[in-house]
Amino acid sequence: MISKFLERSTYFLFTLPAVILYTLFFAYAVFVGIQYSFTDWNGISAQYNYIGFHNYIELWNNPNFKQSLIVTGKYAGMLVAGVMILSLILALSLNSLKKFQTFTKSVYFLPAMISAVTISLIWDQLFVRVIPPIGEALNVAALFQSPLAHPKYALIAVVVVNIWQAVALPTLIFIAGLQSVPSELYEAGRIDGASTFNRFRYITFPYLMPTITVNMVLAIKSGITSFDYAYTLTGGGPIKSTNVIGIMIYNDAFQNLKFAMANAESVILFIIIAVLSFIQIKISSKGGVH
């Protein structure tokens, strides 16, 4: 009797550190953040008033917020597409390598080990010092300046840098997924005369489905909450063309002294991510091999 109780409570006790830490640093922070979003706190003043949904109404009418959401949406879309396609191609080709597989894998994993800020600073220099001479040599007007200087190309340039780093981890996860596919199935497929594409479509793809879900969720989340690349490469410019929601929240909170407004923006972002993740998990849980 006692031993049973001990054993049961033990497993619970093991989860306790995580539960406490999570409550302290995450759940509590979320609740306080939501609470602040209904106030007019500027981040410095000792007092603040509750103003109901005023911040949310103001955001609804703020063209900058809408633009920021659109920029974030575009960013996330390009990032997800780029990361998923590239990492899947990379994983398939790396997995079929016969020699130097480990070495090549580690080469492709290298960017993941450098901090985003460092990568941004390097690419910023590449963009401004390497692109213009190429543009002049080829006489392409669009390349006369750093792509970060064009409102049209800046977002693409930032996403390219982000993709360059972000493909590493999904590639690794995909490779792990690929290795879980039983080789007999491919053999059977070949005997039945299935083409390479059909073998991918009907054998590899279903087995990869759970992995794709994980990678998709991660990529969408990192796209929507992205901040570091855009902030270090462009600071949200030129003309707010890369002003993702993360930058807007940061600036409103710590530069523009609209702390409560920044919290309202975060709450909206939180809801968007929650809804997207929910839909995504629902959709991709159908089909595939589990």
Q: Using alpha carbons, select from 251, 236, 225 the residue that is nearest to residue 166.
A: 225
* Residue 185 in the binding site for another protein (CB under 8 A): no
Contact (Cβ atoms closer than 8 angstroms) between residue 59 and residue 187: no
Q: How many CA atoms lie within 13 A of 253 on its CB side?
A: 14
CB of 35 to another protein, least distance (A): 15
Stretch that binds another protein, among 41-49, 189-197, 211-219, 272-280 (CB under 8 A): 41-49
Contact (Cβ atoms closer than 8 angstroms) between residue 267 and residue 34: yes
Q: Using alpha carbons, select from 168, 160, 170 the residue that is nearest to residue 75.
A: 160
Q: Which of 33, 111, 210, 237 binds another protein (CB under 8 A)?
A: 237
Q: Which of 82, 246, 247, 258 binds another protein (CB under 8 A)?
A: 258
Q: How far is CA 229 from CA 4, 170, 236, 255, in A?
A: 52, 19, 10, 19
Number of residues near another protein (by CB under 8 A): 47
* Residue 87 in the binding site for another protein (CB under 8 A): no
CB of 187 to another protein, least distance (A): 45
* Residue 67 in the binding site for another protein (CB under 8 A): no
CB of 170 to another protein, least distance (A): 30
Contact (Cβ atoms closer than 8 angstroms) between residue 249 and residue 266: yes
Q: How far is CA 81 from CA 130, 134, 165, 269, in A?
A: 26, 27, 14, 21
Q: Which of the 8 DSSP states describes residue 24?
A: I
Q: How far apart are alpha carbons 129 and 147 in whole angstroms? A: 11
Q: Which of 23, 64, 101, 198 binds another protein (CB under 8 A)?
A: 64
* Residue 150 in the binding site for another protein (CB under 8 A): yes
* Residue 151 in the binding site for another protein (CB under 8 A): yes
* Residue 277 in the binding site for another protein (CB under 8 A): no
Q: How many CA atoms lie within 13 A of 169 on its CB side?
A: 13
Stretch that binds another protein, among 166-174, 181-189, 201-209, 253-261 (CB under 8 A): 253-261
Q: Which residues bind another protein (CB under 8 A)?
A: 3, 6-7, 9-10, 13-14, 16-17, 20-21, 24, 42-46, 58, 62-64, 127-128, 132, 144-146, 148-151, 234, 236-240, 250-259
